Structure 1
């Protein structure tokens, strides 16, 4: 790898869907760091002010591009942006709109990629909330209670990993292995990392580039998010069979435990069989609630004391999604083929060639 990675050799892609609450803060911060690098906001059909915000900023920053993402998912957004805008770029930087990034984020990634000779540089993330439910969810996601001790969800030294929150990637290798699998609504990043490592890529976790993430604001949205995570994880394992880790095995047992508890309540008249069947679910829920109270006491926050509830939602939703996908009899589709460029005139990394061109249909 070259030691003189230029910032303008990076294609920056921001998948977006109804992110008006974050774009006004994110994009100016990102554009300040980007220099002449292209920043593509791939919008999946926002109905809020997201597109207006991007269009307004693009009148001042000619390297900011708004494009449609007919596929709507994050994986489709990144793949499309790469095919259309990545022809003269060396690196791909994925930026999620639902987060805040440090002021030297891009430089930290560039430095890590050069020093470590990495094919991909991933980052850890901490979670922060505003409303009471968000604060409770954030406390759960920042703890072992919610994430089981995942390396990219904790504070610690950097190192070589098999997965982390996606940031900087070698664009050539990204395309060679097929980019993201657009059949994955979630867990597309972890699935991609399997193919990247199989192709000889190396993934470095850069602690100095830690980002701040905002969790879902409601229980329903959090449940849907983690249900998709569970489905994606199970689908990933069907394609890339590996042993399930303990931190994944424990929440996986939640759905069977809840099903047994439900059956046990129906059989409550048959003591002690009915109560014994409900015991695992009762112990799980107790651990969640007591763990949440301890997090609240540690953080001296009443909202965080209720973090056991979002933790239980996350466990249940992830487990349900995993079980649903595991029981699905449909065969897993084949891994994606290598991506190829398809840029119209003016669609590349050169601001001079691309000036004034935006995909808005």
Structure 2
């Protein structure tokens, strides 16, 4: 009999007591011919996350809890890849804020072995529990909120430039240096750029879509998308890439809204119309989602989409300005001026 593939499942976490048990339970392979271990990297949770993981570890010795002093996901996955058993062939990156379909880990290993790819990514379908979460989920699952990203709307398997990270050949991941730990967000897209530059390919497996639980408040959503935009700007500036059309749209919306509001205050109410039209389009889109999905919570998708657009664009502009200022040459000050 051939040896069972050895897999390390890495789960970064921080204050996820409401989701961690469900995430781990859905990740555990059952009778799938895999020799696995599951490492939870905790960034210093102050809730019951660590206690829940320790309880699960007592029931399943393949589960273990490790600390992630750096706190960020990029550092957690890198640390997990190093702490993995020496014979581990594959690493699975899993989020604690998600739920995974049956056969998820075995499916990823199968795809990695069958495809000429260094990484397998998967679609992400957002799912909410309460009214606001369902509205945010409706926005994130639609072009109104995601702009047509392949790992959000893709329904067929194919080679892609980027997707929601799920699996790597461990040797390749370590050889390329893992994630750039200076990235607190968007580390996955930055790694994908390096993978493609090295000649490696990324395979999107549409059959292994995961369920992701969105933020439960508009404030948390705004912070999340501000960080996403900031991280994306860092990736583009580091690798000198231009934004795609779908990424230019929120930047254009932010610029238009700022100009419209400033002009309206200075010159009269007619100049507010572009911002009113933008808000009306988003609210109408949310109403359409509510009707088409037969869920009144879809009405919250309009405000959620506006927050996502504006926060992402604000984060992008903030990071771009910070980088440009930091690279500006300093002019030495003469002693005469100091006197």
TM-score normalised by structure 2 residue count? 0.91
Alignment of 1:68-87 (within 5 A): 68-87=67-86
Report the equivalent of 1:31: 28
Counterpart of 1:275? 270
Alpha-carbon distance, 1:84 to partner: 2.2
Deviations 1:95-153 (A, max 9, x none): 00111100110121122112212110000011110111100000000100000111110
- C-alpha contact 1:79 1:179 (8 A) present in aligned 2: yes
Task: Name the count of aligned residue pairs.
Answer: 323
Provide TM-score, normalisation by structure 1: 0.86
Residue-by-residue CA offset, 1:55-87 (whole Å, 9 max, x unaligned): 011112111110111111111111111122253
CA separation in 2, counterparts of 1:281 and 1:288?
Answer: 11
Q: Does residue 168 of structure 1 match 2:167?
A: yes
- 1:202-236, Cα deviation, whole Å (9 max, x unpaired): 10000111101110000010000000000000010
Identify the structure with bigger relative contact order (alpha carbons < 8 Å, sequence gap 6+): 1
Give yes or no for contact 2:29–2:106 (8 Å, CA) kept in 1. no
Partner of 1:304 in structure 2? 298
- Secondary structure, counterpart of 1:14 in structure 2: strand
Structure 2 residue aligned with 1:22: 19
The 2-side partners of 1:30 and 1:152 are apart by: 20
Aligned to 2:337: none
Superposed counterparts of 1:50-61, under 5 Å:
50-61=49-60
| 2:222 and 2:307 in contact (8 A); partners too | yes
Could you list the runs of 5+ residues in structure 2 that have no partner in the other structure? Answer: 328-339
Distance 1:49 1:125 in 2: 26
RMSD value over aligned CA atoms? Answer: 1.7
2:282 alignment counterpart: 288
Runs of 4+ in structure 1 deviating by more than 3 angstroms, as ranges, are 4-7, 32-36
State the secondary structure of the residue aligned to 1:11. Answer: strand
Which whole-Å CA distance do the structure 1 matches of 2:230 and 2:22 have between them? 32
Task: Show the 5 A alignment for 1:81-230.
Answer: 81-230=80-229
Give the Cα separation in 1 of the matches to 2:121 and 2:138.
Answer: 22
Please say if 1:330 is aligned against 2:329: no
